Amino acid sequence: MTQQQTTGGDVRLTGISKAYGSFTAVHPLDLTVPQGSFFALLGASGCGKTTTLRMIAGLEEASTGTVSLGGTDITALPPHKRPVNTVFQSYALFPHLDVTENIAFGLRRRRVTSVRERVAEMLELVQLGDFARRRPHQLSGGQQQRVAVARALINHPQVLLLDEPLGALDLKLRRRMQLELKRIQTEVGITFVHVTHDQEEAMTMADTVAVMNAGRVEQLGSPADLYENPRTTFVANFLGTSNLIEAEIVSAGTDVVVSAGGGTLRLPGSRCPAPTPPGGRLLVGIRPEKISLAPATDAEPAADGRNRVTGRITESSFIGVSTQYVVESPAGKALQVYEQNVEHRRGLAPGSEVVLHWDPAHTFALDATQDMDAGVQSVEDAA
Amino acid sequence: MSATDTPPAPPAEEAAPARPVRGRSLRKRLVPYWLLLPGILWLLVFFALPMVYQASTSVQTGSLEQGFRVTWHFRTYADAFADYYPQFVRSLLYAGTATLLCLLLGYPLAYLIAFRAGRWRNLLLVLVIAPFFTSFLIRTLAWKTILADGGAVVDALEGLHVLDVTSRLGWTEDNRILATPMAVVCGLTYNFLPFMILPLYTSLDRIDPRLHEAAGDLYATPAATFRTVTLPLSMPGVVAGTLLTFIPASGDYVNAELLGSTDTKMVGSVIQSQFLRVLDYPTAAALSFILMAVVLLVVTVYIRRSGTEDLL
């Protein structure tokens, strides 16, 4: 087995599901991970993302469906016969072997020659040359993580599976390792499937993100697409923050006009879920950073054609780059607004009456039958 | 040092709150030694003193009637070894065989309990320890019934022609098991099996099952996973288990006495009869020391060879 292995193909999951007794961890799902892409499975803990990953690795038997790799059905293969490797959440390094032997493990099992050179190469790639003879317990968390990556990558798998590999690291190190993993992925060109509960991590690293919730894929797309065009409240709330406003449709057309909190708002018809009959209900969404604030005392606070909502600031917190405001208004009890700290703003202290205004094009709408708070606060890592 | 960062003081210290700091820290430094004292006293009275006493007995001469005197008669060692070396060899052989059997029987069981037993784990562990609820002697006597002539075991093995093979090997005699080496080894294996299983279980239980997954993920077949991950990581348990089995088994005499014959006497039986029946105390003491030295030698070589010094 040589490097040619890497010219495999797509990972294709077809109707794959996993049930433990009466509990369904993963509902039948179809997923295609294009070759060479950095793919993230994002979701809160218990959403089935790790189970999905383990089914690709063969560590978990799928209840239904098939896993194929480059057109070959690998569903029935045991883990040691699959051309995929995993970086485990806890790293699972072999405590009785030193760094070199940990990394060489896969090569030795396949009786590959030139182990020494390849291990040296790999140590170079993950910048651990000086630690070749250390045992895992003599390494820091970040170093252990890199050994785990090297141990998997040295086998030139068709797919590298990463199960929350950065979860045990502190924030700073995590940010650095994210960049490093991204660098390695670009360098070796192997397909990475990365499982994480950290939306920021998924968005920084992945080309494509699949947001999972309760055993289902909620939405799949590029990070920017998911952020700008969430299709469910879960995605809208889980990826960043969204202000969701309950609204009733007044008129539909190229622009949809809705009434909410005593006023009207406009949004592009193309950003509404399919049927938009007048009188129907919608959840109108707007991201906090898209909103501008103006004191209500200003004579003409916003240009015409912009969506406007009046309210009163209840909280403001200065966080350097921006200031985050919470605004109480008829449209919503706690609308979030992020204002860049470009210049000092007067009249924006808690208690002030303000006007919120934004470009209607930045407004999106969601099906109103969903739970408005789905996905809120489920990210433990708020930093 | 303020009162707040001092741990709760023993009662003696409360009486002297105004003592200078140095006195306090000295007392504190002495605490570990006070804690050691009971153990040290115990070992002194019940281990060190008897050892010295036995050592002196082993170089005494005389008789029960005239009394024994220390005459530095080291010949006793040479004579004792010359007279009883077959029993020594037999002891090591039986104990070694029993230890090996314990390992072969115990490892799969310990593995099963550690990795596969699920909710049955505690029940199985209790079952492993259950024999200890009955006395060692009674359990060994029970084996007399199990292996009795004309019993189910003998009949079954005879029917399967196993006894023909074992007889040819000299393990059994004349289609009987009782009073043969096989009976003694069976008894030893049975009696010391828990001492093998428990340390094995402890060290297997400590292995993170994710290491097995990782090995499988890295192209190791189940057999290779066992060879390269499970077995090396369980070596501390293997070493501890074999020592806990081999050392007491090599000095055991109950199994040889109850299940064996005069041809299967182990050195433990000899020491026991020298002490209690022949009343030749120097020879008995010398035999004890030789046994100790031999076991120590075997164990040292074993630990060195198994290369687990850093794991122990």
Residue A374 has pLDDT above 90, yes or no: no
- In this prediction, the answer to ipTM > 0.85 reads no
Question: What is the count of structural domains for chain B?
Answer: 2
Residue A41 sits at the vertex; the CA angle it makes with A39 and A43, to the nearest 5 degrees, is 155
- Round to whole Å and give the CA distance between A296 and A18: 55
User: Averaged over B260-269, what is the pLDDT?
Assistant: 91
User: Averaged over B147-170, what is the pLDDT?
Assistant: 89
Q: CATH number of the domain that B110 lies in?
A: 1.10.3720.10
Q: Are residues A197 and A260 in the same domain?
A: no
Residue A107 has pLDDT above 80, yes or no: yes
Whether residue B223 lies inside any domain: the answer is: yes
Question: What is the count of structural domains for chain A?
Answer: 2
The answer to whether B6 faces chain A, any CB pair under 8 Å, is: no
User: Averaged over B261-289, what is the pLDDT?
Assistant: 92
Using one digit for the tens of pLDDT, what is the confidence trace for A66-77?
Answer: 999 988 999 999
Q: Are residues B172 and B271 in the same domain?
A: yes
Q: What is the count of residue pairs from A and B with beta carbons less than 8 Å apart?
A: 62
Q: Are residues A103 and A200 in the same domain?
A: yes
Query: What's chain A's Rg over C-alpha atoms?
Result: 25
Q: Are residues B93 and B40 in the same domain?
A: no
Q: Which chain A residue has the Cα nearest residue B227?
A: A109
Whether residue A238 lies inside any domain: the answer is: no
Using one digit for the tens of pLDDT, what is the confidence trace for B101-122?
Answer: 999 999 999 999 999 998 999 9
Q: Are residues B32 and B142 in the same domain?
A: no
Q: Are residues B30 and B159 in the same domain?
A: no
Q: Are residues B91 and B42 in the same domain?
A: no
Percent of chain A with pLDDT over 90: 57
Q: Are residues B18 and B96 in the same domain?
A: no
Average pLDDT, chain A: 88
Of A57, A79, A96, the CB nearest to B233: A96
Q: Are residues B31 and B174 in the same domain?
A: no
Band the pLDDT of A298: cuts 50, 70, 90. Answer: confident
Q: Are residues A132 and A255 in the same domain?
A: no
Q: Are residues B35 and B101 in the same domain?
A: no
Band the pLDDT of A272: cuts 50, 70, 90. Answer: confident
CA-wise closest residue to B233 among A80, A153, A92, A100: A92
Residue A346 has pLDDT above 90, yes or no: no
Q: Are residues A117 and A250 in the same domain?
A: no
Whether residue B63 lies inside any domain: the answer is: no
The pLDDT value given to residue B4: 43
Average pLDDT, chain B: 88
Say if residues A259 and A250 touch (Cβ distance below 8 Å): yes
Q: Are residues B17 and B94 in the same domain?
A: no
In B, which residues are within 8 Å of A96 by CB distance?
229, 232-233, 311
Residues pairing with A221 in the sheet: A209
Residue B17 has pLDDT above 70, yes or no: no
The pLDDT value given to residue B21: 56
Q: A267: which 2 tokens?
A: 């949004």
Q: Are residues B26 and B145 in the same domain?
A: no
Residue B232 sits at the vertex; the CA angle it makes with B228 and B236, to the nearest 5 degrees, is 170
The pLDDT value given to residue A172: 87
Q: Which chain B residue has the Cα nearest residue A104?
A: B218
Q: Are residues B298 and B161 in the same domain?
A: yes
- Round to whole Å and give the CA distance between B249 and A101: 38
Q: Are residues B134 and B271 in the same domain?
A: yes
The pLDDT value given to residue A262: 79
The pLDDT value given to residue A5: 41
Q: How far is A361 from chain B (nearest CA, A)?
A: 48
B 162-221 near A (Cβ less than 8 A)? 208, 210-211, 213-221
Band the pLDDT of B23: cuts 50, 70, 90. Answer: low
Q: CATH number of the domain that A280 lies in?
A: 2.40.50.100
The pLDDT value given to residue A378: 45
Whether residue B65 lies inside any domain: the answer is: no
Q: Are residues A357 and A282 in the same domain?
A: yes
Q: CATH number of the domain that A61 lies in?
A: 3.40.50.300
Whether residue A300 lies inside any domain: the answer is: yes
Whether residue A381 lies inside any domain: the answer is: no
Say if residues A258 and A288 touch (Cβ distance below 8 Å): no
Band the pLDDT of A26: cuts 50, 70, 90. Answer: very high
The pLDDT value given to residue A300: 66
Percent of chain B with pLDDT over 70: 90
The pLDDT value given to residue B312: 43
Positive or negative, the Cα torsion across A176, A178, A183, A184? positive
Using one digit for the tens of pLDDT, what is the confidence trace for B44-53?
Answer: 999 999 999 9
Q: Are residues A44 and A161 in the same domain?
A: yes
User: Residues with Cβ < 8 Å from A235, sequence gap 6 or more?
Assistant: A211, A218, A219, A226, A375
Interface test with A, best of B217, B238, B308 (most A CBs within 10 A): B217
The pLDDT value given to residue B130: 93
In A, which residues are within 8 Å of B233 by CB distance?
95-96
Residue B10 has pLDDT above 70, yes or no: no
Parent domain of A268: 246-367
Of B211, B217, B221, the CB nearest to A94: B211
A88:B232 CB<8 A: no
User: Averaged over A265-280, what is the pLDDT?
Assistant: 82
B219:A94 CB<8 A: no
User: Averaged over B232-252, what is the pLDDT?
Assistant: 94
Parent domain of B261: 83-306
Say if residues A231 and A219 touch (Cβ distance below 8 Å): yes
User: Averaged over B165-193, what is the pLDDT?
Assistant: 91
Q: B28: which 2 tokens?
A: 């504190």
A59:B221 CB<8 A: no
Residue A317 has a CB neighbour count (10 Å cut-off) of 9
- Round to whole Å and give the CA distance between B45 and B49: 6
Of B217, B218, B219, the CB nearest to A59: B217
The pLDDT value given to residue A380: 47
Say if residues B227 and B212 touch (Cβ distance below 8 Å): no
Whether residue A160 lies inside any domain: the answer is: yes
- Site of tokens 């969701």: A244
